[in-house]
C-alpha cells in the first residue's frame, strides 16, 4: 500500500502574526516558518502504518516556492521515502491545491492520501474534501484514530458532538486532527539521510493545472482589540449589566 | 549508554556571526573540510539580537564582493546624535567631540539576525551542514583530557526526566577541532573556561544586559540612517548604561537600552528602566503613535581585553563573545566576532594541514586588528566604575587625546554577581505602571518574542541550592531575579503565608542574565529541548 501525504509550509504557530501596513496581507519576511502542525500528524500516522507493515511506501508532497522544499525534507527526515515539490508562487487556493493533488494522485496511484485537517494560515479546511470530490473517493475528515483493515479504514472522527467512528473503503482521503498521535522528532542522522532521499520537482503547469486565484482578497485586518473586563460588586449588578448593557438576557 | 556518533573535521557550536564566519572561512580555505554548525534556535537568526550598527571590516575580508551578493547590509548611517538626558531636558553633545571609535559614518544599520540568515545561506552554498534545533548540551572529552566534540540534547524527556514515547536520543559529534561560538555566557564555554582555567590571570568578566524593541513609525518621525545614543536619565550617575536608537529601513526604529550588570541596587529592573526611558520627551517624539512590533533581550560582554580568556585549548577554540571579543566603547561586537571566527578557521586549516598547535590562534589574534581595537578600548569600561561623569572625562582624555595609548591598563575589580548591595541599604525605585501605548509589561513583551518551549520538559534553569532564593535572597536582596530577568521567568509568590520561588522556564528568552547576576551564582542555565526559546524576526 502506498500513502501520499500532503504537507504545507506555514508561519510557525509560535510567531505573532503581523498584518502589513497597507492591509495587503501578512508579513512573511524573516518570519520563522514550519510544517503545518496537523500535517506533522498526517506524516507520523503514515510512518506508523508503514512501521506496522501495512504500507510499503510514503510519498510526501508540498506545493509552494523553493523554500517549501524544507517542509518535504522534514517529512523525509521523519520517515517518508520520497518527496515531490510542485513549484508554484503566490497564493494557491484550496481548489488549485486539490487539482494539483488530483493530477499527482493519477500519476502516483496511491491507495491513501493523508493531510492535516486544515492549514493554520488560512484555516480553509477545504482541500481534503475538494480532493475527495474531484477523485470521487471516500473521505474521513478530522481523524483522531485510524485502524487499517484489509480493504478499508476504520476512522474515529472528532466531531462537535464527540467522537464518530466510520468505515471508508480504500482508496480514501483522510484529514488528520492534532489528537491523532504525537509526531516524532527528526534526529540528526535522519536529517542527513533525508538530504539524499529522492525529491522530484515539477510545476503546476507541468501537471496542467491553472493556479490562478478565483477569490479576490480585498484586505487583511487585525481583529479588533478586546476591551478590558470590569469587576462587578455583586450578582445584582451583573444581572443588571447583562440585561441593560450587554442586552444578552 | 552508547549514542550514535557522527564524525566531522570541524564542529562549530552556535550559528551566530563568529561561528558562521568560521565555517565560511574554513570552506573558502579548503573546500574539502567537513564542517557542521549546531544551533539551538529553531532556525538560524531566531536567537540573534543586536543593535546593530555594523562595521563592514570583517565582511570586506570575508566577501570582498559582498555588495553584489544581496547582503542585508543596506542602510548606511547618514546622521549621528549623542544626547545626555536629564529627567525632562536633554543636551546634545557635538559629534565632532566624540572619540573616533564612536563615529559611525562608514557603518550600516542592519538586523544581525538577517545578517546571520544570509551568512548561513552562504555557508550552506559552500557545503557547510547547518543543524538548527540541535543544542550542543554536553562536551565530550578524549581520554587525554582534550576536547573530542559535543553531544546534542536528548529530545522527548518529560518534566520528571522520564522518556516520552517521542524520545529521541542525542548523538555525539566528534571533530578534529571543536569551535565554541555560543555567544555571551555560552553554557559550554563557561564549563571550558573552568575546566582549562582559560581565565587564569585575567580580570573577572564584565557583562551587560541589552534590551531591544522594534517600532514601526510614521514617515514624519523617521529619518533613515539616523543613529542616536543617549547617556544619563533614567539611570543614576553610578550605573553604567545608555540607549541606542537606529532608524532602519521600512520605517522601523531599533530602540534599545544597555545596562552594565555590575549595577549595585537590587531594586533596579533593567526592563523597567528601558520602559521608563521611552517616556523621555526626546525619545517619545520618535515613537509616539507608532507600533511596537518586536521585543527581546540578551546579555553581552563588556570586559574587553583584560577579561578575555585564552581562546585555545586542546582540541577546541573559543571564539566571538563565547570568549568576549566585543569592543565596548564602539558598542560593537559583530565585526570582531566575525574576525575571531575567521582567525579560528585559518588556525584550524594550518593545524589540520601542517600539524601546527592550536595555540597559534593567540599569535594570529594578537597580530590582527581585533587585538589592536580591543587594546585601544581597554580602559574605557573600567573608568566608568568611577561614575558617569568621571568616566566620560577620562574616556575623553584616553580616547581623543591619547587614542587608547595611555601607558597603563585599568582593571575590572569585581565580578558582576558580587556587585549587589543589600536591599535595605539601597533606595527603592518606584517604576511607573505601563500605559500599553509607549510602555508595556513583561508578559505582553515576551508574547512578541514568539518564545515557546515544548510543554512537559525538564526546567532548564537549575538551582544549585533550591532553598537559597527564599532563605537568603529574599531577605538580603528582595530576590533580584524578579527584576533582572527581562522575561518574567522568576517570581516570588505567597502561598498560605509561605513564600515560594517560581521559575516560569517556558518564558525564558535565553538572555543568560540570571546565570551571570545571581549573587551566589546559584542559577545554572542549561540548554532546553532543541528549537525552544524565542523566534526573533529581524532583531
Is A97 a member of any domain?
yes
Closest CA–CA distance from residue A8 to any residue of chain B (Å): 18
- Window from A182-191, A210-219, B388-397 with minimum mean pLDDT: B388-397
Is A50 a member of any domain?
yes
Average pLDDT, chain B: 95
Q: Is B292 helix (H, G, I), strand (E, B) or coil?
A: strand
Closest CA–CA distance from residue A185 to any residue of chain B (Å): 7
Which pLDDT score is estimated for B253? 98
Which pLDDT score is estimated for B1? 60
- Show the domain range for A22: 2-244
In whole angstroms, give the CA distance from residue B278 to residue B522: 33
Q: Say whether pLDDT at A9 is over 90.
A: yes
Is A8 a member of any domain?
yes
Is A176 a member of any domain?
yes
> What angle is formed at CA B331 by the lines to CA B330 and CA B337, rounded to 5 degrees?
90
Q: How many residues does chain A have?
A: 249
* Contacting A residues, span 14-43, partner chain B, CB-CB under 8 Å: 14-16, 18, 21, 29-32, 34
What does the pLDDT look like over B330-363, one tens digit per residue? Answer: 999 999 999 999 999 999 999 999 999 999 999 9
DSSP B533: B
Is A57 a member of any domain?
yes
In whole angstroms, give the CA distance from residue B81 to residue A90: 42
Which pLDDT score is estimated for A230? 85
Contacts of B538 in chain A (CB under 8 A): 29-30
A&B contacts, CB < 8 Å: 58
What does the pLDDT look like over B212-245, one tens digit per residue? Answer: 999 999 999 999 999 999 999 999 988 999 999 9
Closest chain A residue by Cα to residue B217: A21
DSSP A188: H
Is A249 a member of any domain?
no
Contacts of A187 in chain B (CB under 8 A): 4, 168-169, 171
Is A202 a member of any domain?
yes
Q: Which H or E run contains A148? A: strand A139-148
B211: which 3 cell numbers? Answer: 534590551
Whole-structure pTM over 0.90, yes or no?
yes
* Distant-in-sequence, close-in-space partners of B536: CB < 8 Å, separation ≥ 6: B45, B46, B47, B48, B49, B113, B294, B296, B449, B450
* Distant-in-sequence, close-in-space partners of B37: CB < 8 Å, separation ≥ 6: B12, B14, B15, B19, B20, B23, B120, B123, B128, B129, B130, B131
Predicted ipTM > 0.95 = no
* Contacting A residues, span 156-195, partner chain B, CB-CB under 8 Å: 182-185, 187-189, 191-192
Number of domains in chain A: 1
Q: Say whether pLDDT at A87 is over 70.
A: yes
For residue A158, the domain's CATH number is 3.40.50.620
Which pLDDT score is estimated for B100? 77
Q: How confident is the model at residue B441 (pLDDT cuts 50, 70, 90)?
A: very high
Give the Å distances, CA to CA, from B348 to A241, B35, B339, B361, B429. Answer: 74, 11, 14, 9, 51
Which residue segments constitute the domains of chain B, with CATH numbers given?
5-66+113-202+309-377 (3.50.50.60)
Chain B residues at the A interface, defined by Cβ less than 8 Å, are 4, 6, 42-43, 45-46, 111, 113-114, 117, 129, 131, 134, 152, 155-156, 164-166, 168-169, 171, 216, 293, 447-448, 450-452, 530, 535, 537-538
Is A170 a member of any domain?
yes
Amino acid at each position: 500500500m502506498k500513502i501520499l501525504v500532503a504537507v504545507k509550509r506555514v508561519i510557525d504557530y509560535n510567531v505573532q502574526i503581523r498584518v502589513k501596513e497597507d492591509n495587503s496581507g501578512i508579513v512573511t519576511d524573516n518570519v520563522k516558518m514550519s510544517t503545518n502542525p496537523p500535517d506533522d500528524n498526517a506524516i507520523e500516522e503514515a510512518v506508523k502504518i508503514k512501521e506496522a507493515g501495512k504500507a510499503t511506501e510514503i510519498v510526501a508532497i508540498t506545493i509552494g516556492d523553493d523554500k517549501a522544499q524544507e517542509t518535504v525534507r522534514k517529512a523525509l527526515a521523519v520517515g517518508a521515502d520520497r518527496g515531490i515539490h510542485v513549484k508554484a508562487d503566490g497564493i494557491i487556493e484550496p481548489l488549485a491545491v486539490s487539482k494539483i493533488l488530483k493530477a499527482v494522485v493519477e500519476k502516483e496511484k496511491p491507495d491513501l492520501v493523508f493531510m492535516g485537517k486544515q492549514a493554520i494560515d488560512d484555516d480553509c479546511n477545504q482541500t481534503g474534501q475538494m480532493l475527495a470530490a474531484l477523485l470521487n473517493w471516500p473521505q474521513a475528515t478530522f481523524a483522531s484514530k485510524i485502524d487499517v483493515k484489509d480493504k478499508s479504514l476504520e476512522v474515529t472522527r472528532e466531531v462537535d458532538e464527540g467522537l464518530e467512528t466510520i468505515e471508508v473503503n480504500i482508496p480514501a482521503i483522510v484529514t488528520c486532527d492534532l489528537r491523532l498521535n504525537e509526531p516524532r522528532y527528526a534526529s540528526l542522522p535522519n536529517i542527513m539521510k533525508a538530504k539524499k532521499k529522492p525529491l522530484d520537482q515539477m510545476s503546476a503547469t507541468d501537471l496542467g493545472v491553472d493556479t490562478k486565484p478565483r477569490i479576490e482578497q480585498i484586505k487583511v485586518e487585525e481583529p479588533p482589540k478586546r476591551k478590558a473586563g470590569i469587576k462587578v460588586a455583586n450578582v445584582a449588578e451583573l444581572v443588571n449589566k447583562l440585561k441593560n448593557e450587554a442586552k444578552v438576557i | 549508554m552508547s549514542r550514535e556518533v557522527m564524525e566531522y573535521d570541524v564542529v562549530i557550536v552556535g550559528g551566530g556571526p563568529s561561528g558562521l564566519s568560521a565555517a565560511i572561512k574554513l570552506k573558502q580555505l579548503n573546500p574539502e573540510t567537513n564542517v557542521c554548525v549546531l544551533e539551538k534556535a529553531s532556525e538560524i537568526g531566531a536567537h540573534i539580537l543586536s543593535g546593530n550598527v555594523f562595521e563592514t571590516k570583517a565582511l570586506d575580508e570575508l566577501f570582498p564582493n559582498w555588495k553584489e551578493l544581496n547582503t542585508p547590509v543596506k542602510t548606511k548611517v547618514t546622521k549621528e546624535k549623542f544626547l545626555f538626558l536629564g529627567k525632562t531636558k536633554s543636551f546634545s553633545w557635538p559629534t565632532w567631540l566624540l572619540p573616533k571609535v564612536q563615529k559611525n559614518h562608514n557603518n550600516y544599520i542592519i538586523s544581525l539576525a538577517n545578517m546571520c540568515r544570509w551568512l548561513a545561506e552562504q555557508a550552506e552554498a559552500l557545503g557547510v551542514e547547518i543543524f538548527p534545533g540541535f543544542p550542543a548540551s554536553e562536551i565530550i572529552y578524549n581520554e587525554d583530557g582534550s576536547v573530542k566534540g559535543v553531544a546534542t540534547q536528548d529530545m522527548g524527556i518529560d518534566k520528571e526526566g522520564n522518556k516520552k514515547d517521542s524520545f529521541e536520543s542525542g548523538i555525539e559529534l566528534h571533530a578534529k577541532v571543536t569551535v565554541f561560538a555560543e555567544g555571551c555566557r555560552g553554557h559550554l564555554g563557561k564549563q571550558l573556561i573552568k575546566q582549562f582555567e582559560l581565565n587564569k590571570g585575567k580580570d573577572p568578566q564584565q557583562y551587560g544586559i541589552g534590551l531591544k524593541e522594534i517600532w514601526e513609525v510614521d514617515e514624519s518621525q523617521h529619518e533613515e540612517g539616523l543613529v542616536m545614543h543617549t547617556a544619563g536619565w533614567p539611570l543614576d550617575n553610578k550605573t553604567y548604561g545608555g540607549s541606542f536608537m537606529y532608524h532602519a529601513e521600512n520605517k522601523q526604529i531599533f530602540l534599545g537600552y544597555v545596562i552594565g550588570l555590575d549595577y549595585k541596587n537590587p531594586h533596579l529592573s533593567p526592563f523597567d528602566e528601558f520602559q521608563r526611558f521611552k517616556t523621555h520627551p526626546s525619545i517619545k517624539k520618535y515613537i509616539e503613535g507608532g507600533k511596537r512590533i518586536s521585543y527581546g533581550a540578551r546579555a553581552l560582554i563588556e570586559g574587553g581585553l583584560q577579561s578575555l580568556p585564552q581562546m585555545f585549548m586542546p582540541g577546541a577554540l573559543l571564539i566571538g563573545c563565547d570568549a568576549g571579543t566585543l569592543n565596548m566603547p564602539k558598542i560593537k561586537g559583530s565585526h570582531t566576532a566575525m574576525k575571531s571566527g575567521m582567525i579560528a578557521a585559518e588556525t584550524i586549516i594550518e593545524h589540520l594541514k601542517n600539524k601546527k598547535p592550536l595555540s597559534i590562534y593567540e599569535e594570529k589574534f594578537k597580530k590582527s586588528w581585533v587585538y589592536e581595537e580591543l587594546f585601544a578600548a581597554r580602559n574605557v569600561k573600567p573608568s566608568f566604575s568611577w561614575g558617569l561623569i568621571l568616566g566620560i572625562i577620562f574616556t575623553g582624555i584616553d580616547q581623543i587625546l591619547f587614542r587608547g595609548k595611555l601607558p597603563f591598563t585599568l582593571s575590572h575589580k569585581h565580578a558582576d554577581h558580587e556587585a549587589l548591595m543589600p536591599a535595605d541599604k539601597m533606595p527603592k525605585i518606584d517604576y511607573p505602571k505601563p500605559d500599553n501605548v509607549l510602555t508595556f509589561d513583561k508578559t505582553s513583551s515576551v508574547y512578541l518574542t514568539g518564545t515557546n518551549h515544548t510543554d512537559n520538559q525538564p526546567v532548564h534553569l537549575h538551582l544549585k541550592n533550591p532553598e537559597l532564593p527564599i532563605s537568603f535572597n529574599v531577605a538580603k536582596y528582595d530576590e533580584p531575579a524578579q527584576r533582572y530577568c527581562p522575561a518574567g521567568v522568576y517570581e516570588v509568590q505567597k502561598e498560605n503565608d509561605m513564600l515560594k520561588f517560581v521559575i516560569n522556564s517556558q518564558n525564558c528568552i535565553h538572555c543568560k542574565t540570571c546565570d551571570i547576576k545571581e549573587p551566589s551564582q546559584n542559577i545554572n542555565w542549561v540548554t532546553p529541548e532543541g528549537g525552544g526559546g524565542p523566534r526573533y524576526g529581524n532583531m
